[in-house]
């Protein structure tokens, strides 16, 4: 095996990892703040994909469509949080799962009613490839890496440098003290959920031009997002980033060296982490 082949595969693994990261970031953030395991995160991702292609049809500008779509998803997320999810804070986990899974079914059927049962596509936005180590590296792989890193940087800035971010961190670390100091939990939970939904919508919108939008498309990615989140530590954003990289890279190298067992690798990683450090790499006990 040429060393170039391995390096090339590594770069592709990082690109694959970025989509896992983008979807997991919102999931783990929402969980960290609200302690709700949101199954509907995948449905928001799907809505992001459909909204993006629909807005693109209307305005023919991908970047604008992407952000308008994510903003719409954020509003829907906030609506769900106020109307439904806020009622189950503090209740046992099964309530969260039943409620959020119910939302998944509702959104899946709505999507079929609005856009039809057959998946939809929007035009490719990232045509061609560059020559890298004598191999063709698709432009869209570079774009995934760019998008993933940008989201990581923006999240870091938002959470560490803004008032909202500090309040979010305060209520995450110690809800009671935070409330005693006058923070409004309803506002913070709603905005946190909204931001998590925004990230889900952004993920779907970033993904749609390199694949398509389909009813139920979120159900595949959400399983991966859960694996990433658990390996990284539930609620840990840094953990999600590192763990997405681990999954993306082992899958990619696995395809080169052990193609017959690629599918098992993320689960082996998950099992290993659960045995060695059950709370996840960056999780709290």
- Sites of contact with other proteins (CB under 8 A): 1, 5, 8-9, 12-13, 15-16, 19-20, 105, 108-109, 112, 117-121, 124, 126-129, 135-136, 138-141, 144, 207, 210-212, 214-217, 219-221, 223-224, 251-252, 255-256, 259-260, 262-263
Nearer to other proteins, 140 or 282 (CB): 140
Based on CB atoms, which residue is closest to other proteins, 70 or 244? 244
Shortest reach from residue 8's CB to other proteins, in Å? 6
State the CB neighbour count (10 A cutoff) for residue 115. 16
Closest contact distance (angstroms) between CB of 126 and other proteins is 7
For CA atoms 268, 196, 50, 109, the dihedral sign is: positive
Give the CA distances from residue 207 to residues 121, 148, 175, 248, in Å, rounded to whole numbers and listed in that order: 11, 12, 35, 16
Place of tokens 């804070």: 89
- Min dist CB 245 to other proteins, Å, is 13
Give 51 or 282: the residue with its C-beta nearer to other proteins.
Answer: 51
Smallest distance, other proteins to C-beta of residue 59, A: 21
Instruction: Give the residue with the Cβ less far from other proteins, 10 or 88.
Output: 10
Are the beta carbons of 181 and 164 closer than 8 angstroms? no
Picking from 17, 26, 14, 13, the residue whose alpha carbon sits closest to that of residue 203 is: 26
Between CA 225 and CA 63 the distance in angstroms is: 24
Question: Which tokens sit at 56?
Answer: 């693109």
Given phi > 0 = left and psi -120 to 50 = alpha, else beta, which region is 233? left
Task: Count other C-beta atoms under 10 Å from residue 280's C-beta.
Answer: 23
Closest CB to other proteins among 11 and 168?
11
Q: Which is nearer to other proteins, 41 or 78 (CB)?
A: 41
Minimum distance from CB of 84 to other proteins (Å)?
20
* Residue bearing tokens 């609620």: 235
Of 177, 279, 266, 194, give the one whose Cα is nearest residue 230: 279
What's the min distance (Å) between Cβ of 5 and other proteins? 5
């Amino acid at each position: 095996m040429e060393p170039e082949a391995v390096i090339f595969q590594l770069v592709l693994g990082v690109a694959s990892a970025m989509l896992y990261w983008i979807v997991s970031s919102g999931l783990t953030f929402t969980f960290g703040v609200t302690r709700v395991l949101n199954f509907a995160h995948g449905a928001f991702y799907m809505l992001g994909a459909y909204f993006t292609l629909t807005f693109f049809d209307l305005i023919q500008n991908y970047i604008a469509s992407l952000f308008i779509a994510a903003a719409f998803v954020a509003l829907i997320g906030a609506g769900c949080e106020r109307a439904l999810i806020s009622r189950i804070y503090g209740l046992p986990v099964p309530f969260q799962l039943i409620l959020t899974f119910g939302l998944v079914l509702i959104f899946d059927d709505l999507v079929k009613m609005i856009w039809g049962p057959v998946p939809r596509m929007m035009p490719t936005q990232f045509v061609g490839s560059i020559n890298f180590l004598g191999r063709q590296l698709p432009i869209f792989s570079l774009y995934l890496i760019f998008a993933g890193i940008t989201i990581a940087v923006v999240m870091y800035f938002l959470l560490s440098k803004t008032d909202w971010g500090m309040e979010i961190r305060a209520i995450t670390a110690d809800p009671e003290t935070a409330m005693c100091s006058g923070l409004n939990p309803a506002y913070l939970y709603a905005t946190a959920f909204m931001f998590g939904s925004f990230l889900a919508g952004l993920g779907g919108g970033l993904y749609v031009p390199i694949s398509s939008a389909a009813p139920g498309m979120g159900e595949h990615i959400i399983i991966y997002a859960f694996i990433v989140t658990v390996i990284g530590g539930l609620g840990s954003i840094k953990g999600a980033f590192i763990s997405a990289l681990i999954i993306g890279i082992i899958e990619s190298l696995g395809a080169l060296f052990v193609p017959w067992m690629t599918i098992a690798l993320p689960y082996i990683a998950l099992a290993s982490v659960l045995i060695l450090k059950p709370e996840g790499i960056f999780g709290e006990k």
